Amino acid sequence: MEITSETHSQHISRQFNQELEALKTHLMTMGGLVEQQVQEAIQALLEGDSRLAEKVRDRDRDVNAMQLRIDDECTRVLARRQPAASDLRLVLAVIRATADLERIGDEASKIARNALTLIDNGNNVRGLVEVRHISEHVRRMLRDALTAFARFDTELALRVVHEDESVDDEYGSAMRSLMTFMMEDSRAIGPVLNVMWILRALERVGDHADNLAEYVIYLVKGLDIRHMDTDQLDEEALTRKE
């Protein structure tokens, strides 16, 4: 069979599409791993399971290794394929997204380390109701942000951005309760601080999920909504043509 220049370029472009798909798949695999890390870190805390907490802490290495691999893949795609327009935006969004996923991994590992301290000291910990509640909220945000990325779903992405505000409110009120516990009983200060660090880590997970959602909008609409007010954002994102 004669290879015409057209079939050759179709072949190249099919390969290129496969490479872009592979990038997305690998990002989703990394996303799945960090979701599991957050879930198991919280489970370890709530069930007082120190072996699970150690597992989460140690598995952070795998998350880091995944980031390096995917970033490397992105760099190779940029160098060889020199993508433009929406393909370029996809590769850049993947690079940004791996950085956020890696940091979510760090936060999961921090949660696990604080859980270990609490378990080791056999503390009767207060504030776990708040932790459970906020952790469910941010885990849902993270799942939705990843789904939005996988499906290029900007509406779902916008919902995640709005959710982040309510997580911030819940976080503020949980912190105030914890401060009260400290004032009531000074022996509780150490363990309550550990719970505060855990809440702070969860709040950061919410921020990173929010970032992921913003990349989806950048990716699909070519619109960089980082640092926009959310009111401004709805209007911009919904009125702009795709």
Give the C-alpha separation, 75 to 12, whole Å: 18
User: How far are the Cα atoms of 65, 127, 176, 181, 225 from residue 187, in angstroms, in the given order?
Assistant: 40, 15, 18, 10, 45
Q: Which residues ranging from 92 to 111 are in contact with a copy of itself (CB under 8 A)?
A: 92, 95-96, 99
- Other residues' Cβ atoms within 10 Å of the Cβ of residue 210: 24
User: Considering only 36-44, 48-56, 89-97, 119-127, which stretch makes contact with a copy of itself by CB under 8 A?
Assistant: 89-97
Residue 33, interface with a copy of itself (CB under 8 A)?
A: no
Give the C-alpha separation, 203 to 209, whole Å: 10
Is the Cβ of residue 28 or residue 88 nearer to a copy of itself in the bound state? Answer: 88
Which 3 state secondary structure label does DSSP give 226?
coil
Give the C-alpha separation, 168 to 179, whole Å: 17
Residue 75, interface with a copy of itself (CB under 8 A)?
A: yes
Residue 231, interface with a copy of itself (CB under 8 A)?
A: no
Is the Cβ of residue 72 or residue 136 nearer to a copy of itself in the bound state? Answer: 72
Q: Which residues ranging from 169 to 208 are in contact with a copy of itself (CB under 8 A)?
A: 179, 182-183, 186, 189-190, 193, 200
Give the C-alpha separation, 204 to 193, whole Å: 16
Q: Which spans of this chain sit near a copy of itself (rule: CB under 8 A)?
A: 61, 64-65, 67-68, 71-72, 75, 78-79, 82, 84-85, 88-89, 92, 95-96, 99, 179, 182-183, 186, 189-190, 193, 200, 224, 226-227
